[in-house]
Amino acid sequence: MSTARSDGSRWRAAFALPWPFWICVLAMLLDGAAYYGVLNILTLFLGQSLRMPDQTAGLTVSFYTGSISIGAMVLGPLVDRLGVRRTILLGFLLSVTGRSLLAAAPALPSSWVVAWLALALMAVPSGVLTSAFYAGVKQSTTKETSSLAYALLYALFNGGILVESFASSLVRQRHGPAGVFWMCAGVTAAYLVVHVVAFPRGFGQPVAKVPRGGDAGAPAGASWRASPIANGRFLYFVFALLAVRTLFAHQWLTLPDYVVRAYPPSVGARFEWVEGLNPLIILVGTPLLALLTRRVDVLTVMIAGTLVSASSVFLLAGGPDLTLLLVSQVVYSVGEAIWSSRFYEWVAESAPADRVGAYMGVATIPWFLAKTTTGLYSGAMLARFCPEHGEQRTGTMWLVYGVIALASPVLLVLGRRWLKAGAKLSRP
């Protein structure tokens, strides 16, 4: 009974969260919807509207997403210097400029160069904006409300992507990919108005530096030994997930062209709806599965989840089939919902108390590598196994991708005993 009362009071606390929190949630929701609205059809746009070859389009998208990760790592400290309010304002100004320029690229001379410039303008603020959103939530919540606030932020973020996925198909059928980009630019501009009018001017100012004691008394080499780079178990764990993370990159690098080329036009016109299954299942499934598996060993959950995600690809190895395509998306998303939330638990519990941030930063490197390296071969694979014209052997393509993804659960199984020996996880 006490647990029920506690849960009820936590949910009632949601309505007491301050106004700046909801502004940050709105900003992240709209920016996320616009970001994925562009990303989900970017390869289609580059190929159909700008006539880029598959290989060039894949490399372009790969460098774009990789640049976002680099920007997040390099420019993240700007949030503390500029403050949340100014960072979001500048980030959205750059984003709306880039998204508008990308939408206009087909009608402009040197359209490839224009598109690359637009993507650069969009990449710079994307990673920094994410840091600003989370900083805004942290500054607007207390210890008692923070966990609920982050849960709401994550849930509503996925809700925005879900709505965009369904709207994108309708707009694209009438106005093409560029029409979707104009819609995304419009959403970004709409938030800018809200930001200027409603974001509290006294909130989200630059954070004052907190003095910290030096490490003068620490023995030589202590700082290196405490770093995540020197933790072999930690590095093995996070890099073992690189293989299964490539499947997420294929959601925008491979899936759009695959569905448009290998399925009837009626299906290709609505491929965003297929992709929309992922945020829907993540939105609903992640908190439920986290609750159901909260007492299960983290490594067991990670192995099971990555195995489920990797197995989804083999459903496509038999060739195009709409039912199997939908089932594959569901299975992949369920697997992601199983392991994704537990990944950060492992990272946090593996880190010394004073180096959680450093460990979290290193933990993003495999995701950056997955986004960049997948684009190096995805276009060539499409051109060979799923060309726009000519014989298609899509089953072989997905079989290769499935074998790659299986490396993650296999590596976790092989290193399970060693990883558990160094774990410091406490179960409730």
Q: Which residue ranges form the domains of the chain, and what is each CATH number?
A: 18-206 (1.20.1250.20), 229-428 (1.20.1250.20)
Average pLDDT in the chain: 81
pLDDT of 150 strictly over 90: no
**Range scoring the smallest mean pLDDT among 37-46, 233-242, 345-354, 416-425:** 345-354
Task: Please write the tens of the pLDDT for every residue from 400-416.
Answer: 999 999 999 999 999 98
Specify the pLDDT at position 405.
Answer: 95
Give mean pLDDT, residues 261-275. Answer: 87
Which two structure tokens, joined as six digits, stand for 276?
């929309």
Task: Please write the tens of the pLDDT for every residue from 283-332.
Answer: 787 777 776 776 788 788 889 999 999 999 999 999 999 999 999 999 99
Give mean pLDDT, residues 167-174. Answer: 87
d(CA 168, CA 299): 38
